[in-house]
A and B are shown apart, each in its own frame.
Chain A
Amino acid sequence: MVELGVRLGIPLALLVLAYFTGAAVERRHYASIRERELRWRSVPAITFRSVPPSWKVTECTLITGSVVISVDYFKRFLAGLRAIFGGRIKAYESLLDRARREALMRLKQKAVERGYHAIVNVRLETCRMANARNSESIAGLEVLAFGTAVKLRNAP
Chain B
Amino acid sequence: MKFDPSIPEDGINVSRTHPLREALLLVGGVAAIAIAVAVAAAVAVDLVAPHIPIELEVRLFSGWFDRGVEADEAVDPREQSLAKLLGRMAGHWPENPYAFEIAIWDIPEPNAVALPGGVIAVTDGLLENVESENELAFVLGHELGHFRNRDHLRGLGRGIAFSLLLVAVGVGGSSSAVELASLAGQFAQRGFDRDQEIEADRFGLALLAAEYGHVSGAEAFFEHLPELGGPLDGELASYYSTHPLNADRIQALRGMAHEMGWELRGERQPLLSLSPAR
Contacts and interface: CB of A to CB of B under 8 A. Distances in A.
Contact of A83 (B7, B10, B172): B172
Contacts of A94: 14
A81 interface: yes
Contact of B7 (A1, A7, A37, A81): A37
B26 A74 contact: no
B83 to A, nearest CB: 35
B210 interface: no
Interface in B2-42: 3, 5-7, 10, 13-15, 17, 19-20, 22-23, 26-27, 29-30
A62 B180 CA distance: 49
B19 A19 contact: yes
A57 to B, nearest CB: 15
Contacts of B14: 93-94, 97
Contact of A7 (B10, B26, B172, B179): B179
Given A1-B232, A52-B1, A78 B23 contact: yes
B181 to A, nearest CB: 9
Interface string B171-195: 0111111011001000000000000
A80 B7 contact: no
B156 interface: no
A96 B15 CA distance: 12
B174 A80 contact: yes
A140 B30 CA distance: 25
A74 to B, nearest CB: 7
A82 interface: yes
Contacts of A41: 5-7
Contacts of B127: none
A81 B17 contact: no
A88 B15 contact: yes
Contacts, number: 83
B93 interface: no
Interface in A86-122: 88, 90-91, 93-94, 96-97
Q: Interface residues of B toward A: which range?
A: 20 to 34
The CB with the most chain B CB atoms within 10 A, among A4, A77, A137, is that of A77
Contacts of A93: 13-15
A76 to B, nearest CB: 7
Contacts of B10: 30, 34
B13 to A, nearest CB: 5
The CB with the most chain B CB atoms within 10 A, among A8, A54, A82, is that of A82
Nearest to B11: A97
A84 B1 contact: no
Contacts of B174: 76-77, 79-81, 83, 136-137
Interface string A22-59: 01000000100010011001101010000010100000
A81 B179 contact: no
A137 to B, nearest CB: 7
B183 A7 contact: yes
21 contacts: A4-B240, A30-B10, A41-B6, A41-B7, A42-B5, A44-B5, A52-B1, A76-B176, A77-B23, A77-B176, A78-B22, A80-B177, A81-B176, A81-B177, A81-B180, A82-B26, A84-B30, A84-B172, A85-B26, A88-B15, A97-B13
Interface of B: 1, 3, 5-7, 10, 13-15, 17, 19-20, 22-23, 26-27, 29-30, 169, 172-177, 179-180, 183, 232, 237, 240
Given A85-B29, A90-B15, 18 more contacts: A1-B240, A11-B176, A23-B19, A34-B7, A41-B7, A54-B1, A74-B23, A76-B174, A76-B176, A80-B175, A80-B176, A81-B173, A81-B180, A88-B15, A93-B13, A93-B15, A94-B14, A156-B3
